[in-house]
Every structure is written in structure tokens, then in C-alpha cells.
Amino acid sequence: MVQLGANRYGKAEVRVMRVARGAGPGGGDVIRDWNVSTSLSGELAATHLTGDNSAVLATDTQRNTVYAFAQKLGPVPPEVLAMELAAHFVASQPQITRARVAVEEYGWSPVGESRHSFARTGELTRACRVVHDCAAGVSVLAGLADLTVLNTTNSEFWGFPRDEYTTLAQTRDRMLATQVSAWWRYRDVSVDWDEVFAVARKALLSAFSETYSYSLQQTLYAIGERIIEAVPAVCEVRLALPNKHHYLVDLAPFGLANDNEVYYPGDRPYGLIEGTVLADDAPDPGAAWA
Amino acid sequence: MVQLGANRYGKAEVRVMRVARGAGPGGGDVIRDWNVSTSLSGELAATHLTGDNSAVLATDTQRNTVYAFAQKLGPVPPEVLAMELAAHFVASQPQITRARVAVEEYGWSPVGESRHSFARTGELTRACRVVHDCAAGVSVLAGLADLTVLNTTNSEFWGFPRDEYTTLAQTRDRMLATQVSAWWRYRDVSVDWDEVFAVARKALLSAFSETYSYSLQQTLYAIGERIIEAVPAVCEVRLALPNKHHYLVDLAPFGLANDNEVYYPGDRPYGLIEGTVLADDAPDPGAAWA
Amino acid sequence: MVQLGANRYGKAEVRVMRVARGAGPGGGDVIRDWNVSTSLSGELAATHLTGDNSAVLATDTQRNTVYAFAQKLGPVPPEVLAMELAAHFVASQPQITRARVAVEEYGWSPVGESRHSFARTGELTRACRVVHDCAAGVSVLAGLADLTVLNTTNSEFWGFPRDEYTTLAQTRDRMLATQVSAWWRYRDVSVDWDEVFAVARKALLSAFSETYSYSLQQTLYAIGERIIEAVPAVCEVRLALPNKHHYLVDLAPFGLANDNEVYYPGDRPYGLIEGTVLADDAPDPGAAWA
Amino acid sequence: MVQLGANRYGKAEVRVMRVARGAGPGGGDVIRDWNVSTSLSGELAATHLTGDNSAVLATDTQRNTVYAFAQKLGPVPPEVLAMELAAHFVASQPQITRARVAVEEYGWSPVGESRHSFARTGELTRACRVVHDCAAGVSVLAGLADLTVLNTTNSEFWGFPRDEYTTLAQTRDRMLATQVSAWWRYRDVSVDWDEVFAVARKALLSAFSETYSYSLQQTLYAIGERIIEAVPAVCEVRLALPNKHHYLVDLAPFGLANDNEVYYPGDRPYGLIEGTVLADDAPDPGAAWA
């Protein structure tokens, strides 16, 4: 005999562009470009066992709700959109005991002095994820992805164990590059979301830039520590840092020196460093990472 | 003050093609095409805090180990490769207390009667994930991804709640399509891996095909149930089923009928149904899903 | 002063799923899964120069036309859909002097004995491209993409020139793999399209499999020659063959032999071999490749 | 009987990172991040017909040559790298009569005041393509891809023909968005490549921003015209502009207005507008676009 375990359902990747005409400095338009995914949990055994959908708020309805809230809320920070949506689903559907809403936000910058023209900035994707749980309360994660950074120097890697399969040479000077995926958890959800995102992003970049690194793990820890120090509302940081290897090209066969000048970036395989940094007094995460 | 939380590191996406010449039926070659990702956890605070790498088996070494084991083991099922690698890392590195090894396997079929020529079959990706934990023991997950299936009929969706944002019409006949991502957990790791994979895959397909569906959740549950019934060694199934919506085209403006004959598949947004089905006596998963 | 040069416009990637209920052998459904792109050329200077759209059949209309023709034509071969659409646009819009319609078709196979359930086959994408030009007439290209094949042996590469930048060793036995992109041109458009596609595909596979290869160029030529010989209606074949390098892993540092058993597939860079094979009496292509 | 037609071969996607230490303003490092593809044509019948490779400069050698030239040339504009490589292949290999070298360049900007840290800018990809042909001489194309821009207003679309398949409403105010792919051809190859690229890019953006548009074709023409006017060394511009449709969401069912405030971006299908703008006295392109 079998039974139903954990489950959830929702609408993924609802794309929304919200324009607020003339709302920007200088009378230009403001735009927010979102990719919203909703996910609901609760008393949903019936639909699984018998196809009785009386508790299943259609994913089509969830999509519509995203559109309607985008209109009502205006060009708010993505965290606000996610919190409002999550609260709505739990409040309005008695059978739903938990809602998770994730938002990706893509950046645009005005073209020249134009009030109506924008160009996509592609240097990172901003993200947030809100869980509104009847029992555990509201939790907010924010973060970023697709931010690619490199240091041309100030990175070493040596002193690692050598077993029968180890061929890697030790190095006192290597290029270090990674594509940052970061999530941080707020202990305080009454902040200025755009402001704290900007501070966290800047802390991340400066930690990467200023850390003389003996391992990507050390850099990871420095980034987490710096974000927590810079944003008191943050109590936990989780990072996934692929080591985007840049290999020094051997130019000796061609009679050429290569004094750390010519590298070839490799696609696969890549090192993958994942880790968590917590404030000593970080509260229990509850359902934040669910 | 901050502290280090959970962490792991490894080499991701080590691609390996293993050829066993003449080992197939009729003297043809056998090939296994793998994408291996390793991930190690343990006493790794030093590298995070000070850059001391004396406990850090290099990810480059992990990659080499994958290659060496592929040679030694031959064209084994991916679960065997993963189990042997995970056991090796934990056994040989005292500071490593847990190893996770994930393998994707891509299918190839012989071209005609050739003993040396193969064509990629693209209908699914086979996957497995082994966690070897010093405390919790060995766990094995297997599964598949990228399997896209559809039913042209035998699917309805109605009886769902209607709130102020609901516009979806009820339907007594719809096309149902999904791209299956499935993981199942073994309670018994002394099975014929290729055989049980084939049985699970067949059970999955037949459950999808034979279930008259009132919701994708119902289909999900049926798939999980069918796999557990078909493979006694499996105690748990986790599924993620995107609802690949096929919308009926409105041809009335052109004076044409559309009796469920012309659909347009949408890319985004899509419903996403996730759920778990368990045997009533499923043992505790330990670190299996970590 | 500037002037307008060549131009065209249309709707790209119109996805359509056409179902013919009960039309298959045994009373099962037949499905055709298409991705259609239309492109029109003609007297279109006005819209470029002044924004006068009186000659611009909207791309939205082109999309609607694809849907309507899918309904009217039924589950025909993609070449038929493309020919009918291209003829329609040129015939119905006086200002349009050329229409190009490209169709990709994705394969599905029935699940078990089901009459309504299908699974995506992923081994290749079928494609065609029709140009209907008022002056040059109708031309039909067909082809395939995403077909990945490999030979474990029967491939050598040696005798190439060695300059100051050459380090590659000669080899008398290598793995040869490629992802075939092929287009062939018909001189006769009154064929059984599904039949000739099947014959061409089989010829391609057998040529790849049976050619003892000293270079991927030689394999390319053999494929083109074989398709033209197998399908008299074909007069020209164009191929793009990326050399999906499989590098032999050096296992010597681990005390292991590697008698062509363990390879790592590389992602980038890759060799790219492009070439054309023609029947000696191939007619002028006209606008076929435009 | 069959014969060999046009053909070429080379190494695609050779990734190179070139660092010039301390060469930047303020003593910071300068980096150039390239993706180079080479392609050679000439007397290559033998390898196709018999596998005789005596004229086939190995693609592995071509890759090595890219690395060596990156070292020798330093962090030059991509056009210089491409011209030098193309000239080298034709000059050093008597059987090679044409070389085509394409380079993509990815942008990086310094992190804060750091001299060694960089972050990928993702707003566009710079590209160039050089053809060095023994008969036709040297031609240089440059361009960009992946530049996504939108206007929140100042775009209309009406006055288009209405046939039996036309349902699109006319609009006097729509959002206009596209992902620009542009190539321009130089008549003069003794320019400051970085400077003219910057001027062309700025002209493109300002033309998009400042054109009140009645069709994307009109915007296309304006972009081409503006680039040619801004950069006298450019004689031809080719553009491919996908119309990234942003559809107004119908919020009326929810009792909400939508005064051009909430849009959903669609993925597929999309309009695709392609066109060429030429200087009246543009010289013959020769092999530039081959």
C-alpha cells in the first residue's frame, strides 16, 4: 500500500512587465520586469486520490492573480509582490496552508536621456522567494544569480592532499572566476527592499574583489560574512559558486612565454562550491527554504 | 559574529564515455555515456576560515578519480559507478564524512547491424544519485528526466473553486502533456539496476497512458503508485510534472471548426505539479535526498 | 544618402500540434507537432521609409494562417504544409513576390498499444523549407538536425601538414562523433515526402556507419553522395558536421592502461566541417537557399 | 554521378581570455574575453574524395594559432585579431584561398576601484567577422547581438491589410521591444575599431529611442541609416529584429483597468523583421557575407 507524501502545485514562470508612466525621476517611466512562480500546499489529497478538484485553485487562476496584483501594487520591489501574493493565497483559500512565491526580476536602464526607452542590463538576475506558512509564519529570501566575476590574480591554491589520483600542480597565482548564485534570509521584513538588495550586492562584490583567496571556499565564506555584516536584517547566506576554470595555455611549443596572459576558459567539468554562513543568533528558518 | 553552516564541494559535470569493445551481443561494442558530479562534505571549516586546504581533496582529483573508476569498473550501470565512487571518497579521506555522487546517463542505440556505430536516443535522460554517509549509510536514488509524454484525450479538468480571479472554463476533454522528472528511492540496493530501471520506466509510461485523468495530480499519484507496485525495491517516488499546456486554437473567426484538432503548445507560464508517493512501510530516508 | 536593400519579415516559431483522431493504423490518433516560421518579401519599401503598412500582411495574420491551414490540411507531411502556405501568401497578397516557409517537425511514438498516448522521440528534428518565388518558382529543401552519431572506431586522422603551431599527434584509430545538420534540395516535388525523408535518413545513417573515415570531410562527402544515390529526387545536399571531439583520457599517472576505452567528450572548441555535394546535373537552385 | 560543391572547415568557439597586466588606466589590468571561430576554404577536394589530408591544416592547429596570436597581439580590438589570423592562414597555407575568422567579445567592467577584479556586463555581445580572400581581398564586418531594448510608447501599428485570417486590432500605442542582432560592413579598414564600435552602438540605441515608430521595419531602417550616417567607414548595415511581443493583459474580468500598465511578454511565436540598409555608394561586398 502507498500513501501521498509532501506535495505542492502552482504556476511557474508567469512573465509580467509593469509600467508606471512618468513615475521616475525626471518624469520618465518606471518598469519592473518579473518572472513569477507560485506554489501552493495544503489539504490536497482528494485531487491526487480521486481527481476531486474542489480544493484546487487552478494554476490559471494563480496566473491571473499575479497579473491583477501587479496592476494593483504598481512597480513595487519584488519582495512586496511576493509577500502580497503569498498572503492572499493563504488568506483566501481555506484549504491552502502554505504559499510559496518566487520572483525573478530583470534589470533595465534608461537609454540616454529618454523617458520611454530602456535597455536590458544583463549583469545579474535579482531574485526573491517568500513562504507564507500558516504555522511557521512569513519568511523572505532574496538573492541574485548570473553574476559572473573574476580576479586576474590574488588567488592561490596549494597545500591540498595528494592521493593516487592527484595530478594537479600547486599554484601561487591563478585566475579565479565564478558565476555567483546567492540567497540570503531576512530576519526582519520591514526593510527597504531595493536598498538592502543594493547593499548586499555591493558587499558581495567588494568581498569577492578584496579577498586574497587561498580557496574558493574562503572567498565564499568572506562573501557570506560581508553580506551579514553589511545588512543587519540578514541572518543567513547560502552560496553556490561554480569554479569557472581558466586554464593557462601552454605556449612553449610555439616558442612563446605565457606569463599569466593567455587563458582558455573551460565549460565542463567545473568545481562547485556550496556553503552557508549564518549569524550566530540566526533564528530558526522554519519553512523559509522549503 | 558569523559561523559556517552546511557546506559541500566537488566536481560537477565530468563527462565520460566508456567503451567496452566487443562486449555486446553479437560482438558489438557496448558504450556508456555519463555525466558525473561529485560532492564531498566533512571537516572543512579550515579552508573556509583560513584557506588551509589540507583537508580539501582537489576537485581536479575527484575528476581524475571518476575517469579511473570508469576504466576499472567497465560499462556498469550508473548506480554501480556512483556507489563505488562515493564509497571510495569516504573510505580514503578521513575528513570526508559524506560523499554524494550523481550520474546522468545518455542513451545510444546501434545503427543498423553495425557493431561500432551508435546514434543518440533522445527520449529521456537516465539519472541516479548516491549518498554515502558515515552515519546514515548508503542510499540510492534513481530516476529519469526529459521524458515528454502526452495524451490526446482521456483528461478532464473541472470542479475547481472559482474566485474573483478565475476565468478558466471547465473542460471535459483536454490534451494532457508533461515532461516527466522522476526520482525514486531504493530500500534494497542489491538489485539488477538496468532491469529495475527498465521496469520503473515502463510502469511510469503505462500509468500515464492508462490513467483517465481528472487532474495532473491524479496522474502523478498513479505514476508513483505504479512504480512502487512494479518495483518492490522502491519505497518512495518523487515527481515534478510541468503541465505543458496545449491550448485549443479558436478557428471560429476563420469559419472553421476545431473539434480538438489544432492546438498551440505554450512555453510559459506552465503549471507545475510536484508530489511524493511513499510505500506505507518506507524506511526513513536518512541523507538520501540531501 | 542611404537606400533600402534586401528585406523580409514574418512570424517565427509558430508552434502547432495537429491531431487526427482515429486516423492511424488500428484506429489510433495521428499527431503532427510543428514549429512553423513564415517570411515574406516584396514591395515593402513604404513601411521601412514612412511606416505606411498598407502592404504589410501582419505577422499576427501569418500566424493565424498557419493555424487555419493546419486545420484544413490535416496531418500532412511538413513539406505539404509549407508549400501550401507559401503558395497562399504569394497568391493572395499582390505586393508579396516571395514567401519562405520553414517547418520543424518533432517526432512522437505511441506508448505501448495506446491509441491516444505518445512519447517524444528525441533522436532528431525533421525540417523543411519552401521558397515560393514569383520569378524563380517553387523550391523545396528538407533535412534534419540534432542527430548525434558516433563510431567507436574505423576512423583515422593523419598526413595533415605540420606548421609551427601544430602539436596534434597523428592517429590511426580515433572515436568519431558528430551532430548532423543536413539539408537536401529536391528537383522533383511530386514525391511521397514521408517516404523520401525516411530513405534519406537511412542513407545518411548507413553512410556514416559504413564509411571507413580518414577525415570528417570524407564522411561528409560519403553522406551527401549516398543520399543523392538513394533519393533520385534529391539533387544537392548541404551538411554541417561539428566534430564532437572525444579525447582519450591519460590514465598512465594512475598506473592504468587506456586501450581506447575511456574518453572525455569536450564541449568547446569543436571542429566544424561544412560542405555541399551535388548531382552532376543538378538544376540551378534559384532562390532555394535564400 | 556527384561532385563536391562549396566547402569550408575550421575550429569553432575557441575561447580565449587575454590579460594585459597593469595596462589599463590607473595601472589596472586590461582583459579581452573572446570566442573565436576560424574557417578555411581552398583546394580541399582530396580530403573529401579520398581522405588525403595533405592540404588540411588541422583544426587543432587553428586553435593553437588563435592562442599564439592572442599572446603576440595582446589585448587588441577583436577586428585586429581576426584580420591577423585570417591573413596568416591564407599567407602560410598555399592551398587555402580564403579564411574567415569570426570573433565574439564579451564585456567586463572593473569592480569598484579594483585593478584586478571584473564583473561581466551582459547587455550585449560584440562581434566581428573577417573574410580574407585571395581574389576578393579583405572585408570586415562588425556588429552586436543580445542587445534587448524596449520603448514603453511612441509605437503604433495600423493600416495593415485585413484578409480572411486577420484578427489583429489596430493600435495607436503599443510597447515595442526587440533583441537587436546587427552587422555592419566597413568600406575602410584603417579605423579605430573600439571607437567606431562605440559610435555605432550609440547611434543604434539613439535611433531606436528617438524613432516614433509605425512599424518595426521603420525602426530597422532608421537604425541602419543612423549607423551609416554616424560612421562614415560603414557602407552597409544588416539587422535582424525579433519583435518581442508584449501583450496587454485583459484585467476587465477582475474589475481592473489596464491603461497600458501590465503586459505579459510572450516567448513564441514572434515577429522577425530582417533588412539591409546601404549607402548609395556602397562598394560591392565581394566575399564579405560569405
pLDDT tens-digit series, residues B204-246: 999 999 999 999 999 999 999 999 999 999 999 999 999 999 9
**C38 labelled catalytic:** no
How many CA atoms, within 13 angstroms, populate the side-chain half-sphere of residue A68?
20
**B202 labelled catalytic:** no
Rounded to the nearest 5 percent, the helix, strand and coil shares of chain A are 25, 40, 35
Q: Hey, what amino acid is at C164?
A: E
Helices and strands (H, E) in chain C, number of each type:
5, 11
Report CB contact under 8 Å: D229, C49. Answer: no
Domains of chain C, start order: 7-121 (3.10.270.10), 136-290 (3.10.270.10)
A275 and chain B in contact, CB less than 8 A: yes
D267 and chain B in contact, CB less than 8 A: yes
pLDDT in tens, chain A (290 residues): 999 999 999 999 999 999 999 999 899 999 999 999 999 999 999 999 999 999 999 999 999 999 999 999 999 999 999 999 999 999 999 999 999 999 999 999 999 999 999 999 999 999 999 999 999 999 999 999 999 999 999 999 999 999 999 999 999 999 999 999 999 999 999 999 999 999 999 999 999 999 999 999 999 999 999 999 999 999 999 999 999 999 999 999 999 999 999 999 999 999 999 999 999 999 999 999 99
D220 and chain C in contact, CB less than 8 A: yes
CA-CA distance, D271 to C9, in Å (whole number)? 7
B56 and chain A in contact, CB less than 8 A: yes
Give yes or no for residue D203 having a pLDDT over 90: yes
Please compute Rg for chain D using Cα positions: 23
Given the C-alpha cell 558525473, which residue does it identify? B36
Looking at residue C276, its pLDDT comes to: 98
Report CB contact under 8 Å: D167, B267. Answer: no
CA B29 and chain centroid, separation:
26
Q: Hey, what amino acid is at B246?
A: H
C3: cell is 537606400
Report CB contact under 8 Å: D116, A151. Answer: yes
CA D40 and chain centroid, separation:
20
Looking at residue B25, its pLDDT comes to: 86
Kindly identify which residue of chain B lies nearest to residue A169, measuring between CA atoms. B60
Distance from CA of D269 to the nearest CA of A (A): 15
Largest CA distance in chain C: 75
For residue D202, count other CB atoms closer than 10 A to its CB. 15
Q: Which of A56, A242, A277 sits opposite B215 (nearest CB)?
A: A56
CA D181 and chain centroid, separation:
6
Residue to test with chain C: of D48, D69, D71, D239, most C Cβ within 10 A: D48
C131: cell is 521558397
CA-CA distance, A176 to A152, in Å (whole number)? 7
Q: Are B9 and B50 in contact (CB under 8 A)?
A: no
CA distance to A5, A12, A135, per residue, from A42 (Å): 11, 18, 12
Strand duo D234-243 + D270-279: pairing:
antiparallel
Looking at residue A38, its pLDDT comes to: 98
Kindly identify which residue of chain D lies nearest to residue C64, measuring between CA atoms. D165
Q: Which residues contact A95 (CB under 8 A, 6 or more apart)?
A: A42, A43, A44, A55
Average pLDDT over residues B33-58: 98
**C202 labelled catalytic:** no
CA A287 and chain centroid, separation:
17
D238: cell is 544588416
Kindly list the partner chains of chain B, i.e. chains with 3 or more CB atom pairs below 8 Å.
A, C, D
Q: Are C83 and C132 in contact (CB under 8 A)?
A: yes
Residues in a beta bridge with C102: C37, C129
Phi-psi region of A128 (alpha: psi -120 to 50; beta: other; left: phi over 0): beta
Report CB contact under 8 Å: B264, C17. Answer: yes
C164 and chain A in contact, CB less than 8 A: yes
CA distance to A13, A69, C2, C168, per residue, from C158 (Å): 51, 66, 51, 9
CA-CA distance, D228 to C3, in Å (whole number)? 11
Q: What is the DSSP letter of A249?
A: P
For residue D74, count other CB atoms closer than 10 A to its CB. 17
CA distance to B20, B197, B206, C90, C107, per residue, from C113 (Å): 35, 21, 10, 43, 17
Q: Are D57 and D93 in contact (CB under 8 A)?
A: yes
Average pLDDT over residues D17-30: 96
Residue to test with chain B: of D168, D249, D268, most B Cβ within 10 A: D268
Average pLDDT over residues B170-188: 98
Average pLDDT score over chain B = 98
A118 and chain D in contact, CB less than 8 A: yes
Report CB contact under 8 Å: B3, A61. Answer: no
Cβ-based contacts of B268 with chain D (< 8 Å): 267
Residues in a beta bridge with C33: C17, C106
Q: Are A2 and B228 in contact (CB under 8 A)?
A: yes
Q: Are B36 and B16 in contact (CB under 8 A)?
A: yes
B243 and chain A in contact, CB less than 8 A: yes
For residue C233, count other CB atoms closer than 10 A to its CB. 20
CA-CA distance, B90 to C173, in Å (whole number)? 38
Kindly list the partner chains of chain A, i.e. chains with 3 or more CB atom pairs below 8 Å.
B, C, D
Task: Outline where DSSP puts E strands in B162-254.
Answer: 176-186, 234-243, 246-248
* B191-209 pLDDT per residue, tens: 999 999 999 999 999 999 9
C268 and chain A in contact, CB less than 8 A: yes
Give yes or no for residue C285 having a pLDDT over 90: yes
How many CA atoms, within 13 angstroms, populate the side-chain half-sphere of residue C251?
21
Looking at residue D263, its pLDDT comes to: 98
Q: How confident is the model at residue C25 (pLDDT cuts 50, 70, 90)?
A: confident
Report CB contact under 8 Å: B164, D254. Answer: yes
Q: Which of D54, D56, D274 sits opposite C9 (nearest CB)?
A: D274
End-to-end CA distance of chain D: 27
Q: What are the start-end ranges of the H helices in chain C?
A: 45-50, 59-73, 78-92, 193-210, 216-230
Average pLDDT over residues B155-161: 98
* C183-230 pLDDT per residue, tens: 999 999 999 999 999 999 999 999 999 999 999 999 999 999 999 999
Looking at residue B227, its pLDDT comes to: 98
CA-CA distance, B20 to B7, in Å (whole number)? 37
Q: Which of B71, B147, B151 sits opposite C251 (nearest CB)?
A: B71
Cβ-based contacts of D238 with chain C (< 8 Å): 5
* Nearest to B120, CA basis, from C244, C231, C238: C244
ipTM: 0.97
* Nearest to C8, CA basis, from C35, C34, C45: C45
* C113-124 pLDDT per residue, tens: 999 999 999 999
Name the pTM for this structure: 0.98
Report CB contact under 8 Å: C56, D215. Answer: yes
CA-CA distance, B96 to B65, in Å (whole number)? 15
B58 and chain C in contact, CB less than 8 A: no
Residue to test with chain A: of C245, C254, C256, C262, most A Cβ within 10 A: C254
B189: cell is 540496493
Give yes or no for residue D25 having a pLDDT over 90: no
